[in-house]
Amino acid sequence: MQTQRDTLTLPMTILVNLNIMVGAGVFINTIPLAHLSGSLSFMVYLAVGLLMLPLALTVARLLQIYPGGNFYTFAEPLGIASSFASTWIYFVAKLATSALTIRLSSILLQDLVPALATVPIFAVDFVLLAILLALNLRGLRTSMLVQYVLTIGKLTPILFVIGAGILFFNEPSATTPLVIDWHAIIYGVPVALFALMGFEAACAISNRVENPGRNAPRALIIAASIALTLICSYQFLYTWVMGSTTMMYHSFINTIPIFLQRVVTNSLRLRQALASLFHLGMLAATLSVSYGILFTNHWNLYTLAKHQLIPLCGHLTRLNRFGIPTLCILVEGLICVVYLTQLTQKFYFQQISGFGTVVAYTFSTLALMAYARAHNDRTLLLLALWALCSSTLLMAASIKSFFMYDTWPLTLVGFFIGAGYLFYHGCQSPLRQKYGE
């Protein structure tokens, strides 16, 4: 039985979602989107937000229909195999985002601490991963304390850019305004998509949310709205103030220093101090995403183990004294290590994570459609059809991206899907026997 200390309130749930949505993507995408879409780069986020709207509404509605439910619960009307596929693929693929943000954190740390520049990047990755895993083993109280600290840290540079952008709004851009390319907006969609995925994180922990049928969907919508507002404001004001100066840079590490050169002109010492402080904020942003995913995602594996659909289910469902499934956390760490050692480009991590998330969206959309038909609810059916259009577009773009570049990420995805197939058919689950699957 859960105690009040084991339960997430509405503000806490919103915070968890925000920590996953507003993170590394904000800083990683600033310069690439400016290169692609100029001063209209913020509109790429709005376009993606519109594309994601029916999916967010679909997941929110399913959280109302199935209080305390998750991707497994949502897909149950489609069959146990669908529930397993949705949950397993999401679980393994979402960890690619956690691995990516750990890698970005390592890069930032090596930039902040010159002594670490000579340390192999993998060593820094593994130390950071071990710390995040250890913190996640400490239970809800410790986890929320970490969430609060990371939120304060990452909001510092974001709010500074927004505030400075407002102050400098009427001044001429640093050089000339960025060229606006309307056609290039569509090319920025895959880049922006990475930053806006994450609203679905509430699903994995909805059974731990206070009054889940009411608070879990509210947390999802509120967090997504706040995230979209912050990200769009940051991107618009950054490119407005910086102008074409942005085109001279490519690395996300340069994002804040070049902005400070524009808005803090009278004190080199102050500029250097702020640059160090805001780099710590960027570090908090990258770590918050990884930590938030590790915090929520292991419950997806726990759900599969609870239904005896994977090996070692008895060990995976065993909780430590803080109520955390220790082995599930360790499995998360192992999968992150695989990604960190096998993937060499940022985009590869994003491809895998995006694919797995879209798979879960698609199963959820089909589940809502089945529910709407069963209950003769035309409004829900229209929402499901709208969401299916979005998920189909996203799935097509995701699959196409695998074949446009190196196919190694697709091979890795295939390996994990194949492992899941073997797990599912190798375990004698009472549920599968009951439903003849």
Task: Band the pLDDT of 230: cuts 50, 70, 90.
Answer: very high
> Is the pLDDT score of 251 beyond 80?
no
Tokens encoding 267: 């004190």
pLDDT digit string (tens) for 73-97? 999 999 999 999 999 999 999 999 9
DSSP-derived secondary structure for 281-311: HHHHHHHHHHHHHHHHHHHHHHHHHHTT-ST
Average pLDDT over residues 402-426: 88
What pLDDT score was predicted for residue 186? 60
Phi, psi of 319 (to 5 degrees): -100, 145
Q: What is the CATH number of the domain that holds 421?
A: 1.20.1740.10
**Domain tally, the chain:** 1
CA distance 299 to 90: 12
Q: 404: Cβ–Cβ under 8 A, 6 or more apart, which residues?
A: none
Whether residue 259 contacts residue 238, with contact meaning beta carbons closer than 8 Å, is answered with yes
What pLDDT score was predicted for residue 304? 95
What pLDDT score was predicted for residue 363? 96
Whether residue 70 contacts residue 300, with contact meaning beta carbons closer than 8 Å, is answered with yes
Task: Band the pLDDT of 432: cuts 50, 70, 90.
Answer: low
Which residue shows structure tokens 């360790």? 330
What is the identity of the amino acid at 293? I
Task: Band the pLDDT of 1: cuts 50, 70, 90.
Answer: very low
Residue-range definition of the domain harbouring residue 184: 4-435
What pLDDT score was predicted for residue 3? 46
Average pLDDT over residues 8-18: 89
pLDDT digit string (tens) for 289-338? 999 999 999 999 999 999 999 999 999 999 999 899 999 999 999 999 99
What pLDDT score was predicted for residue 184? 56
Three-class SS of residue 325? strand
Phi, psi of 174 (to 5 degrees): -55, -40
CA distance 325 to 14: 23
What pLDDT score was predicted for residue 374? 93
CA distance 159 to 163: 6
What pLDDT score was predicted for residue 20? 85
**Of all residues in the chain, what percent carry a pLDDT higher than 90?**
49
What pLDDT score was predicted for residue 239? 86
Question: With left for phi above 0 and alpha for psi between -120 and 50, is residue 139 left, alpha or beta?
Answer: left
Alpha helices (runs of H) in 168-209, residue ranges in sequence order: 189-196
DSSP 225: H
Task: Band the pLDDT of 55: cuts 50, 70, 90.
Answer: very high
Query: What is the dihedral angle through the alpha carbons of 292, 76, 431, 1, rounded to the nearest 10 degrees?
Result: 50
What pLDDT score was predicted for residue 176? 47
Phi, psi of 309 (to 5 degrees): -105, 0
CA distance 106 to 127: 9
Which residue shows structure tokens 């309130």? 9
pLDDT digit string (tens) for 353-384? 989 999 999 999 999 999 999 999 999 999 99
Residues in the chain: 437
